[in-house]
Amino acid sequence: MRAAGGGEAATASTRTRPADGAILMGSEHTEIRKQQMSAAQETSGSTPGQQGVGNRGSNACCFCWCCCCSCSCLTVRNQEEQRPRRASHELRIEDLPSCEESPSPTLEEVHAWAQSFDKLMLTPAGRNAFREFLRTEFSEENMLFWMACEELKKEANKNTIEEKARIIYEDYISILSPKEVSLDSRVREVINKNMVEPSQHIFDDAQLQIYTLMHRDSYPRFMNSALYKDLLQSLSEKSAEA
């Protein structure tokens, strides 16, 4: 452990060496490292070289004093900063509307939703109602991912396919995304290999897995939810009045 501490101290000293040139050793390296951080922050605007030190200090993760190159927090942050975001944001707004356009469901359609999950998912009104329910369970990303895969299948242009596939990967497959969907390791490995040259069907296995998850897990709760029962009751009352 002492050798590791010395190595860490040596690495830190090469970035921000104390003015007296002392080498960090033993139990003193923690205190000196704190002093280096304070000094770097105070002098971050002095010179370009010092400014770089200040930047590294400000990016250090909250769990460690050092800003060593092996810090996983810094690696994740750097990957996120390097990704082009403007084009992705524009495509998300265009291709994933907050709600699909559809007429109000009929009483017959709502009754059909109870017959099978397939019938629910076949109609935009059914998907909208189910998506609203998923939002209350904080699992709306499953429906968003499924819809994004359906949109990808409609594309024919290679560049558009690659761009949309990258967006879907970043939004729903990447472990760094807050909207990551639950997939097994086998499906993830296949997707990672095929991302080199994605096609319209790169996410087919993942889409089927999420479809099955919604069917088995969320669909039964939706059928017993107040959202579905209230909609069914409202349409039944309107039908009786007519």
Return the domain boundaries, the chain: 2-79, 86-241
CA distance 146 to 218: 14
77-94 per-residue burial string, b: 16 or more CB within 10 A, e: under 16: eeeeeeeeeeebeebeee
Of the candidates 141, 168, 172, the one whose C-alpha atom is nearest the C-alpha of residue 152 is 168
CA distance 12 to 143: 47
pTM: 0.60
Residue 109: how many CB atoms within 10 A of its CB?
A: 18
In tens, the pLDDT along 229-242 reads 999 999 999 988 87
% of the chain beyond a pLDDT of 90: 55
Of the candidates 97, 149, 99, the one whose C-alpha atom is nearest the C-alpha of residue 126 is 99
In tens, the pLDDT along 8-65 reads 444 444 444 444 444 444 445 455 555 655 555 554 444 444 444 344 444 444 434 3
Question: Regarding the domain delimited by 86-241, which CATH topology (the fold level of the hierarchy) does it fall under?
Answer: Regulator of G-protein Signalling 4; domain 2 (1.10.167)
Residue 60: how many CB atoms within 10 A of its CB?
A: 16
Q: What is the pLDDT of residue 142?
A: 98
In tens, the pLDDT along 120-146 reads 999 999 999 999 999 999 999 999 999
In tens, the pLDDT along 154-210 reads 999 999 999 999 999 999 999 999 999 999 999 999 999 999 999 999 999 999 999
Do you know the residue count of the chain? 242
